[in-house]
Chains A and B, each alone.
Chain A
Amino acid sequence: MIKRNLPFAAIAVIALVAAPLLLEPFRLSLLAKYLCYAIVALGIGLAWGQGGMLTLGQGVFFGLGGYAMAMYLKLSESGGGLPDFMVWSGVEELPALWAPFANPVFALTMAVAGPVLLAVVLGTLVFRQRVRGAYFAILTQALAAAMVILLVGQQGLTGGTNGMTNFFELFGADLADDSTQRVLYLVVAGVLGVLYLATRQLVNSRFGRLLVAVRDGEDRVRFLGYDPALVKTVTFAVSAGLAGLAGALFVPVVGIISPALLGVVPSLELVVAVAVGGRQVLAGAVLGAVVMGYAQTTFSEQFANGWLYLQGALFILVMTLAPKGIAGILGRLRRARTA
């Protein structure tokens, strides 16, 4: 038990102690951003890697969480008055939808409950009809596209294409301050650690075994007396909740939420990251999100658009040569050394 948790403990020490001491503030908040994506990746690893549900629309849940948080931040700054972008769009009265988000507890609850609820409704409809495989993937991708259209269309309610930005403080702390960003980083890292352990527990539980069984033989599971639609819906809802929470953390860290951050492309990029890291191991999914996030920043700084080609090439390489991703390669190396 102790030996098994040793790598986790080592990484936790590096992430919680070494990184804040060694990294300059700008790099530390970039790392915090990658860790937010890693929380989404955790959900993709669970739904896709363990449950076989290729979800190409996690950005939708991420966005719901992000917008819920952004609404709270905007309202807390305007002191209950109209947020800046509404004034620019000519809105005169605070929309009824917005009002309850002045309460941080409500906003944070909705950041998770909203995505979970949407996933439950969607999962119930879709999985009962035995929609799966590519059809499910296409459906979730369409959802991401529709979400963007919806957000862009409701300029006065959502900030349209620009989304929401210019956040100055969170619970009274100055968001531009390095120490606030350091605390935010620690919160994100801590949340990721706890969620990782909880998700790992779920994967190792009987439910996790059942999920793998559903992935590999849905019909057989049915004849064992289980309802695969329920198992999949629950799993999909958990992954949606993770993405929602990640979105809520992302907004104060990065300082913006907009349709471009949650559409088809970012949703796909996260799936690619999970594939590169190794979808069948949760740690692989987390690793993939951090590595790909870091690579994106580094390469974009040097070659601007070259990153997109590199990302595509990497995805093809992983899919053809190492379908189990970085985690698979590491696992093989470790086995080769002990053997």
Chain B
Amino acid sequence: MLELRDVRVVFDGFHALDGVDLTVADGELRFLIGPNGAGKTTLIDVITGLTRPAAGRVRFGGYDLVGRKEHQIVRLGVGRTFQTSVVFEELTVLENLDLAACFRKPLWSLAGRRRGVSDAVAEALARTGLEPLAGRSAGVLSHGQRQWLEIGMLLAQRPRLLLLDEPVAGMSKDERDRTGQLLTEIADDHTVIVVEHDMEFLRRHASAVTVLHEGRVLVEGSVEQVSADPRVQEVYLGRRPSDAVGK
């Protein structure tokens, strides 16, 4: 469904992505990990059109994504969240979700008032457990609730591919568990790519993992395979001190 071939991104001579190949199949839940600066977020940025690669191809469901505008890629069915959650604080939770759900409607049809709650929005509210907060303004939500609202906004758009950038960063233990649960549910009927730092979260919820390091794919495999791989241990734990000093 998603296929990246030899994607390269250069920022001022720094190779943020240095020839990445990645294939994600329909219905898969894929975790993307790697140390800081490995290029995880850059990879998401390339898929969603925020960053234009210097070279390489990005194909999604038969479409070439490189060169398309951000909103056009969203309309093809690719949704993303950001590390720092951005919800519209002056709108209510329900209005945030409704806005997300209306994105395929022509602009003129938005001149009417919202009447009732559409199925997609009701479903997103139920899944994220935000129903009791529907009428509250998004500005009063806690950090965890904001992340769920963002995920809910994605769900309301019924995307084919979801890209979640560090969804549990800064969350409490309880919030992590809730998010993990939500993630497992979503993965049932969506293709999902999750960028995550948190190793414990990974062990509990991940099956397929891709490890990025210095702009390249280091290893791909199950959590067990990946965490047993000596190269991954080296990257994460710096087993060879001589290398660590050199960088």
B-contacting residues of A (Cβ < 8 Å)? Answer: 201-202, 204-207, 209-210, 212-213, 216-217, 219-220, 222-227, 230-231, 234
Contacts and interface: CB of A to CB of B under 8 A. Distances in A.
Majority secondary structure, A binding face: helix
Given A207-B110, A223-B74, A225-B74, A217 B99 contact: no
Closest 9 CB pairs of A and B: A225-B74, A225-B103, A206-B110, A207-B110, A220-B86, A222-B70, A213-B88, A225-B75, A225-B71
25 contacts: A201-B111, A201-B113, A205-B110, A206-B113, A207-B111, A209-B95, A209-B98, A210-B102, A212-B88, A213-B91, A216-B88, A216-B90, A217-B86, A219-B86, A220-B88, A223-B48, A223-B70, A224-B99, A224-B153, A225-B75, A225-B103, A225-B157, A226-B103, A227-B69, A227-B71
Nearest to A211: B110
B173 interface: no
Contacts of A222: 69-71, 74
Contacts of A220: 82, 86, 88
Interface in B86-109: 86, 88-91, 95, 98-100, 102-104, 107
B112 A206 contact: yes
A231 B111 CA distance: 12
Interface residues of B, number: 29
Interface in B42-91: 48, 69-71, 74-75, 79-80, 82, 86, 88-91
Given A212-B88, A216-B89, A217-B88, A224 B157 contact: yes
Contacts of A213: 88, 91, 99
Contacts of B102: 206, 210
Contacts of B111: 201-202, 205-207
A225 to B, nearest CB: 4
B116 to A, nearest CB: 13
Contact of B99 (A201, A202, A210): A210
B247 interface: no
Interface of B: 48, 69-71, 74-75, 79-80, 82, 86, 88-91, 95, 98-100, 102-104, 107, 110-114, 153, 157
B157 A210 contact: no
Contact of B110 (A210, A212, A223, A224): A210
A205 B112 contact: yes
Contacts of B86: 217, 219-220
Contacts of A216: 88-90
B95 A231 contact: no
A206 B106 CA distance: 12
Contacts of A204: 113
A231 B88 contact: no
Q: Among the interface residues A201, A222, A234, which one has the most CB atoms of the partner chain B within 10 A? A: A222
Contacts of B99: 206, 209-210, 213, 224
A209 B107 CA distance: 12
Contact of B113 (A205, A217, A224): A205
Contacts of A231: 107
Nearest to B96: A213
